[in-house]
Amino acid sequence: MLLSDLLDARVVDDRGRPLGFVVDVRLVLDGPLDGALAAPRLHGLLVSPRTGTSFLGYERSDARAPAVLAGWLRRRHRGTFLVLWEDVAGHGSDDDERPVELRAGYRRWAPTLPPRTGG
């Protein structure tokens, strides 16, 4: 699977009700060592009810400037949530129009990332 197969895909719940579009993914580096770093693993999907466009990095809780753009993107993505990869019941591929389907009982998590630490 390619990540491009997921981006902009429609998302539905277990009953087929539309929830939005995949606007981004969350990866974690907790797999086996791959050189100097751990291999990435798909942690979850960001689902936006209004748009298929990205947050452009403004999902970080400390991203505030330029204020007009930050505010516009926050309003545009209100209602966006993170769903864990384990809650995905099925998905199509790039040449398949099937939506991403979530399993019954999936949980909505906050989409924001914590402030950056370090330099």
Residue by residue, pLDDT tens for the chain (119 residues) are 677 778 889 999 999 999 999 988 888 888 777 778 788 888 999 998 876 666 555 555 555 566 776 666 666 667 889 999 999 999 875 555 789 999 999 999 988 766 555 54
Q: Is CATH 3.40.50.10490 the classification given to domain 3-102? A: no
Helices marked H in the chain? 67-76
Radius of gyration from C-alpha coordinates of the chain: 15
Q: Give the start-to-end residue ranges of the domains of the chain.
A: 3-102
The structure's pTM equals: 0.73
Distances (CA, A) of 7 to 54, 101, 116: 9, 14, 25
Report the distance separating Cα 43 and Cα 87, nearest Å. 10
